[in-house]
Structure 1
Amino acid sequence: MPQTEVKKDTVKVKNQQAVTQPASPWKDAWRNFKKNKIAVTGTIIVLIFTIMAIFAPWLTPYSHSSGQLVDRLQPPSSDHWLGTDDFGRDILSRIIHGARISLTGGFAAVFGSIIVGSLLGVIAAYYGRWVDTLISRIFDVLLAFPSILLAIAIVTILEPTLQNALIAIAIINVPNFGRLIRSRVLSVKEEEFITAARAVGMNDRRILFKHIIPNSITPVVVQGTLAIATAIIEIAALSFLGLGTQPPKVDWGMMLSESQQYIVSAPWTMIFPGLAIMLTVLGFNLMGDGLRDALDPKMKS
């Protein structure tokens, strides 16, 4: 047989294998995500603020905690691109350093609520009966309170610190993730492959961690991305009220609180921290919507 025919047969076999082998769900989701220009734009915004937070000490032109009183309330200029505040501190430097607390705080609070909420939701859905009733009632009690008021109450009881603010934000988000994954697990545990796993004698822990949780985690990933945006707003709100970040640390909510009395005489002191919050939240929301469209099979054409 000629070599050209052998090569053609080899190429044909490889093409047939490529067609018969299903694509990885995550690769397929990534391919769909890249096609969504709005989601990519949101991801770029998030990456820009993330890079700012990581490299803040090297990106800031001035100190974020000290300034010159002779430079107080200076409008944007070539020396201070975003102007200065009432203590002469460079607003750009403070926004860059504020990104550290806002982003790390948002990630930390949401990660904690995902772990606790998902664990409770999985236990409630898998074991059912009184366990499900007890955990569901706990979720209902937490959801009965307005989230920001519950966070304020928790921080007030503990102590007004950033750490306690993050704990409060994690607590108020636990029911959202718990109920989300509970509904997913209730559906997955009735599938035939779970019945087969029980039939071969697989124990509960292995069924949960090998089959149920991996098949239930997708909506949690999407909701977690959107929840980070909400957590950033909640951190800013608590700091604005003096219940979150404390000096000499800085975050965007604290900057808004310190500059509210200068909204007329020096509006840039409030405009730029507000824009930082708005753009970051917008970025996470756009990215979360893109992830939902890419990971949810019902959203695919």
Structure 2
Amino acid sequence: MAEVANNTPPIVPGQIQAAEEKAVSPWKEAWKSFKKNKLAIVGFSIVVFFILLAIFAPLLAPHDIAKQELANKHIPPSAEHWFGTDEFGRDILSRIIYGARISLWVGFLSVAGSVIVGSFLGIIAGYYGKWIDAIISRIFDIILAFPSILLAIAVVSVLGPSLRNALIAIAIINVPTFGRLLRSRVLSVKEEEYVTAAKAIGMKDSRILIHHILPNSLAPIIVQGTLAIATAIIECAALGFLGMGAQPPTPEWGKMLADSRAFIIEAPWTVLFPGLAIMLTVLGFNLMGDGLRDALDPRMKN
């Protein structure tokens, strides 16, 4: 019997290795691209530094943040008080370390709330469209019609000045940002063939949204969320500066700036170091967010 010709080309080990390299997870590929961005790594390092500062604040703070020593007020930076003391003789370095907890807590929680509510509304509006889309979009337009800080002040004025109410206000003003982002993403993703196929086999809308549309919309959420944390920290500091956020004796950076503005000539270090803490934290999140955008956006890749 004649042998059947086998036209299948032989498998070369080098080709297998090359195929495995090409089949790298998109998230691993994004991480490799992120690590190549030096500015993004700098931002990531700054963010990690402040997160560790917040976690280990009780161990790192050299002095009691609430202890007042009026005899030691406005002491300039020294070996005992690296960042000096404020008008009540409290150690500024210790208060900045504990202030990292407050700013990061407000930033992460407010953005998490905005992501959850905004993503839900954006997905519903983009997927179902029609009158549902019209109502939700108009709500977003109304919120965006007000300057963000003025809307936050209005919300806190109604709820009452406190750190918790400031967090709620910051979450509310950021909801339309994520809602519009998810809506535009859903409008494009829902026209893909795999979504059409899922509808054709009778898959429920909830499963399509959770298992198909949402996973393919995570990249822009991550990027926008990182940048939104920086904005939330600034807004928290602004509300604290205006006396509508954290209340005394809470060591919040914006409140520290407000309490020290009268002593900017007499004791400039009381304003300098809280301001630097805000600037570095926001800079870290912005640099990291730009790096994530470059790593996760296919249009930014060669």
Q: Provide TM-score, normalisation by structure 1.
A: 0.95
**2:101 counterpart residue number:** 100
**1:136 counterpart residue number:** 137
Q: In structure 1, list runs of 5 or more residues that go unmatched.
A: 1-8
**1:174 counterpart residue number:** 175
Q: Is the 8 A contact 1:181 1:217 kept in 2?
A: no
Q: 1:168 corresponds to which letter in structure 2?
A: A
Q: Within 1, Cα distance between the matches of 2:92 and 2:18?
A: 60
* 1:253 aligned onto 2:254: yes
Q: 2:103 corresponds to which letter in structure 1?
A: S
Q: Within 2, Cα distance between the matches of 1:275 and 1:12?
A: 53
* Greater CA drift, 97-106 or 21-30: 21-30
State the shift of 1:220 in Å.
1.0
**2:6 counterpart residue number:** none
Q: Within 1, Cα distance between the matches of 2:16 and 2:188?
A: 38
Q: Within 1, Cα distance between the matches of 2:151 and 2:194?
A: 41
Q: 2:197 corresponds to which letter in structure 1?
A: A
Q: 1:97 corresponds to which letter in structure 2?
A: Y
- Give the alignment of 1:197-276 within 5 angstroms: 197-276=198-277
Q: Within 1, Cα distance between the matches of 2:114 and 2:37?
A: 28
Q: 1:85 corresponds to which letter in structure 2?
A: D
**2:88 counterpart residue number:** 87
State the shift of 1:67 in Å.
2.7
**1:33 counterpart residue number:** 34
**2:154 counterpart residue number:** 153
**1:18 counterpart residue number:** 20
State the shift of 1:10 in Å.
8.4
- Tell me, what secondary structure is at the counterpart of 1:216? helix
State the shift of 1:22 in Å.
1.6
- Tell me, what secondary structure is at the counterpart of 1:215? helix
**1:70 counterpart residue number:** 71
1:102-127, CA deviations, whole angstroms, 9 ceiling, x for partnerless residues? 00110000000000000000000000
**2:61 counterpart residue number:** 60
Q: Within 1, Cα distance between the matches of 2:291 and 2:83?
A: 32
**1:195 counterpart residue number:** 196
1:79-103, CA deviations, whole angstroms, 9 ceiling, x for partnerless residues? 1001000000000000000000000
Q: 1:45 corresponds to which letter in structure 2?
A: I
**1:5 counterpart residue number:** none
**1:300 counterpart residue number:** 301
Q: 1:137 corresponds to which letter in structure 2?
A: R
Q: Within 2, Cα distance between the matches of 1:33 and 1:183?
A: 25
Q: Within 2, Cα distance between the matches of 1:237 and 1:195?
A: 47
**1:46 counterpart residue number:** 47
- Tell me, what secondary structure is at the counterpart of 2:216? coil
- Give the alignment of 1:104-123 within 5 angstroms: 104-123=105-124
Q: Within 2, Cα distance between the matches of 1:248 and 1:57?
A: 17
State the shift of 1:169 in Å.
0.3
Q: 1:202 corresponds to which letter in structure 2?
A: M
State the shift of 1:66 in Å.
1.4
> Equivalent pairs: percent with the same residue?
65
State the shift of 1:13 in Å.
6.6
Q: Within 1, Cα distance between the matches of 2:37 and 2:18?
A: 29
- Tell me, what secondary structure is at the counterpart of 2:284? helix
For the structure 1 residues 119 and 266, does the alpha-carbon distance in structure 2 shift closer, same or farther, using more than 3 Å as the test? same
State the shift of 1:137 in Å.
0.2
1:4-52, CA deviations, whole angstroms, 9 ceiling, x for partnerless residues? xxxxx88547425425x52100000000000000000000001111101
